[in-house]
Copies of this chain bind each other. A is one copy, B any other.
Amino acid sequence: MKVQIIGIGLIGGSFALAIKSAFPEAEIFGSDANEAHVKKAKELSVIDHLAKAEDVKNADVVIVAVPVDVASQVLEETLGLISDETLVFDAGSTKEGICQQVANHPKRRNFLAAHPIAGTEFSGPEAAIPNLYRDKTNIICEVEKTAFKLQEKALDIFQKLGMRIRYMDPKSHDRHIAYVSHLSHISSFMLGKTVLEKERNERDIFDLAGSGFASTVRLAKSSPAMWAPIFQQNKSNVLETLNEYINNLTQFKELLEKDDFQEVYQEMQRTNHIRTILNGIN
């Protein structure tokens, strides 16, 4: 099985490592707009061969793992080059745009729209890890638009990588994921910003930070090159979640201002319910 991965960063590189481990006979070809990335990936044995865009014509599977602002274009170019038997899937955090973009492409049936809910705050080929996808959810959109045999091929890969599958329409995906992923990134980035601004005047503030702060601000280490395009593509859903978040914070602030600590307590207790819901996510 020849697999070409376009975009050899955390996401693409982790697919490379996981596929090599699950399919020992697979040959992994890697390409990246950033020449240094693809060289580093080869050096680290994340990929077997350096590749060019046109090499996808020989691939059995192509994985598009590039920032969402360029994914549609890369996908279109790829679909224009591949054979009829080639499976192409993406891994982007927004799905409505890309699905619309290729809706009428003659090779639409070669494409599977996917979003593995997996990642870390690190980026680049050095950040790739073989078990990134194990026990993680993979959301597949518009599965009915992909050819049966290629659905089968994709599911075989996802299953051997240890992923569980959820089917969803692209619109619902983008709405839901704004809440459980995109908003967390903004809350974390702005928390980091607020504390960094303070640090400028008050030295040593971070010296006092503990594991709670580190956990809450972890996502503020994420790649802007990946996240700015996501916020752009999912702007209306992200704005909705952000408005609700700001409203909830403002309401909490007002409770403090009027010394209603009974209600402050209640608010927190009601939210504690998230304990039971989060069981199993780590």
Interface residues, chain A, CB within 8 Å of chain B?
117-121, 136-137, 139, 166, 175-177, 179-181, 183-199, 202, 204-222, 224-225, 227-229, 231-232, 235, 238-239, 241-246, 248-250, 252-253, 256-257, 259, 261, 264-275, 277-278, 281-282
How far apart are the CA atoms of A267 and B186 in the complex, in Å? 11
A246 & B246 in contact (Cβ 8 Å cutoff)? yes
A211 & B281 in contact (Cβ 8 Å cutoff)? yes
A186 & B249 in contact (Cβ 8 Å cutoff)? yes
How far apart are the CA atoms of A256 and B183 in the complex, in Å? 13
Q: What distance in Å separates the Cβ of A112 from its nearest Cβ neighbour in chain B?
A: 18
* CB-CB under 8 A for A213 and B228, given A202-B175, A221-B272, A248-B194: no
How far apart are the CA atoms of A136 and B208 in the complex, in Å? 9
Copies per assembly: 2
**A189 neighbours in B (Cβ, 8 Å):** 252, 267-268, 271
B117 & A275 in contact (Cβ 8 Å cutoff)? no
How far apart are the CA atoms of A46 and B133 in the complex, in Å? 39
Which of the listed residues A217, A244, A282 has the most CB atoms from chain B within 10 Å of its own CB?
Answer: A217
The chain B residue sitting closest to A217, CB to CB, is B274
* CB-CB under 8 A for A190 and B256, given A180-B205, A213-B180: no
Per a CB cutoff under 8 Å, which of B197, B207, B242, B264 touches A166?
B207
Q: What distance in Å separates the Cβ of A202 from its nearest Cβ neighbour in chain B?
A: 6
* CB-CB under 8 A for A215 and B212, given A231-B264, A249-B186: no
Q: What distance in Å separates the Cβ of A213 from its nearest Cβ neighbour in chain B?
A: 5
How far apart are the CA atoms of A56 and B281 in the complex, in Å? 43
How far apart are the CA atoms of A139 and B220 in the complex, in Å? 26
* CB-CB under 8 A for A193 and B246, given A180-B213, A228-B261, A228-B265: no
**A205 neighbours in B (Cβ, 8 Å):** 176, 179-180
A184 & B231 in contact (Cβ 8 Å cutoff)? no
